[in-house]
Amino acid sequence: MPDFAYKAIAPGGALTEGQLSAPGRAQALRELEARGLRPVRVDDRTAEPRRAAADSDGGQAWFIRRPRVTPAMLEAFTRLLSSLLAAGVPFSRALRILQREATAPAAKAKWRELHDHVVDGLPLSAAMARSPETFPRVYVAMVEAGEAGGFLDAVLAQIADFQAREKELKAKVTAAMVYPAVLLVLAVAVIVFLLVFFIPRFQLVFQGFNAELPVLTQMIVAVSHLLRQAGLPLLAAAAVGGYLLRRWLRSEPGRRAADRIILRLPVIGSLVAQYAMARFCRTLGTLLAAGVPLISALGVARRSLGNQVLVDAVGDSIERVRRGEPLGLSLAAQRQLFPGAVVEMISVGEESGRLDRELVRLAATTESELDQRLKTTVALAEPLLLFLIAAVVGLIFIGMLIPIFSLQDHIR
C-alpha cells in the first residue's frame, strides 16, 4: 500500500505534517478529512523512488525521447476547459473530465498531475508554473490574471484563440521554407553525384592522351578526387563541426551572436524582426485584455520575441516604462523592431485607453503583411535557387567538355 507524506491544517489552525498509508491519493485525502485535517499538500512517497530511478535512467537512455504534451493537445485542453467552466461545471470536476477524455498518455498524466496539485490547494496558475515545458510563461501569466479577476473561462478562451493564431503563423512560415529547402537538398545531391560518379569516368578519357587539362577542369577533377578519397572523413568532420556549432549556438554568447547575424541579413533580418514584432504585440495585447498589469505583461511579451538581441533592446524600453514614460515613447528608440507608424498607433491606443485592442489589431495587420512578404520572398527565391543550381551544374559540364574540343589535336 502506498505511503503518503502530507501537510495539513489542524482544526486549531496549526500546520501539521505526517505520513499515512492508503490505497490511493483520493483515499488519503478522505482519511485526512476524516481526521478533521484540511489538506495542504499530499505527496506519494512510493512514487518518488520511481521518479528518481527514471531520471537516472534518462542519463543512460538519453536518445529516447519521452512523450510530451504537444501544442495541439494544449490548445484542445484550453478550449475545452474554458467551455466547461463557462457551462458552470465545478473546477475539479472539469479537470477530471479533461483527464478522462485525454487520449495521449502524456496528456492524461499531465492533466492528472494538474488536478492533484489543484486538489492539494494550489491555484491553477501555480500548478501550471510547475510544468514550464508544457505551459509557457505567457499562458501562466494570463491564467493568473483570470484567477485574480474571476473571469478564468473568458481568459482561457482568449488563450486558445492566441494559440490558434500562433500555430497558423508558424505553419505559414514553415510552409514557405519547405520548397526552397527541398531545392537546396536536391541541388547538393546532384552536385555530389556528378563529382563522385560522373567526373571520374570522364577523367579516364583524358588520361590516355597525356595532355595538360585546362585550369577549370583541373579544379573540378581535384574536388572530385578529394570527395572520393576523403569523403567519409569530411562527412565525419562536418558532423562533429555541426554538433559543436549547435552546442555553441545553445550557449548565451553563441545565441546572441547568431541572433545578431540573422538580424543583419538583407531580407531575412527584416522578416525576423517583423515576425517578432507581431508576436510581441499580440502577446502584450492579449495579456492586457486579460487584466495583467502593463509592467508584468511587458516582461512576459518581451520573452516571446525569441531573438535575444531584440529581447535585450525591449528590456531597455521596459525600464523606461517603469520610470513612468509612455509605452509608445519608450518603444520609439527600437526602430528596427517598431517602425515610426507602429509607434504612432501604439501611442494613439495608449492615449485612447484602447491599447489592448490596438495591439491585437496591429498584430493581425502585421501578420497579414508578413504573409504577403513571405510569399513574395519565396516566389523570388525559387528561380534564384534554380539559377544557382543550373549555374553550378553547367559549370561542371563546361569544365569537363572544354578538353574534348582539343582531343582532335592530340589524336592527330
Identity of residue 291 = G
State how far the alpha carbon of 384 is from the alpha carbons of 80, 372, 389, 409, in Å. Answer: 46, 19, 9, 39
Q: Average pLDDT, stretch 318-343?
A: 82
Return the pLDDT at 12.
Answer: 62
Q: pLDDT category, 39, cuts 50, 70, 90?
A: low
Eight-class DSSP state of 265: S
pLDDT tens digits, one per residue of 240-288: 998 898 888 888 788 888 888 888 888 888 888 888 888 888 878 877 8
308/257 Cα distance (integer angstroms): 9
Question: What type of residue is 43?
Answer: D
Confidence check: pLDDT of 13 > 70: no
Mean pLDDT of 198-211: 69
Helices (H) and strands (E) in the chain, counts: 18, 3
The model's confidence at residue 408, banded by pLDDT at 50, 70 and 90, is low
**pLDDT for the residue 105:** 87
Say whether pLDDT at 33 is over 60. yes
The pTM is what? 0.61
Q: What's the pLDDT score for residue 240?
A: 92
Say which CATH topology domain 162-412 has. Answer: Receptor-associated Protein (1.20.81)
Q: Over pLDDT 90: what percentage of the chain?
A: 0
Show me where the domains of the chain are located.
Answer: 3-58, 71-135, 162-412
Which residues make Cβ contacts (< 8 Å) with residue 244, sequence separation at least 6?
none
Element (H, E) at 20: strand 15-21
| pLDDT over 80 at 350, yes or no | yes
- Summarize the confidence of residues 4-18 as an average pLDDT: 70
Query: pLDDT digit string (tens) for 143-166?
Result: 877 777 677 887 888 788 777 877
Amino acid letter, residue 376: T
Read off the pLDDT of each residue in 33-56 and give the average, rounded to a whole number: 59
Mutual orientation of helices 252-264 and 308-322 as an angle, nearest 10°? Answer: 90
Closest CA to 317 of 345, 336, 341: 336
Report the mean per-residue pLDDT for the chain: 78
The pLDDT tens digits for 61-96 are 444 455 688 888 888 888 888 888 888 888 888 888
Whether 337 contacts 277, CB under 8 Å: yes
Closest CA to 91 of 61, 64, 111: 111
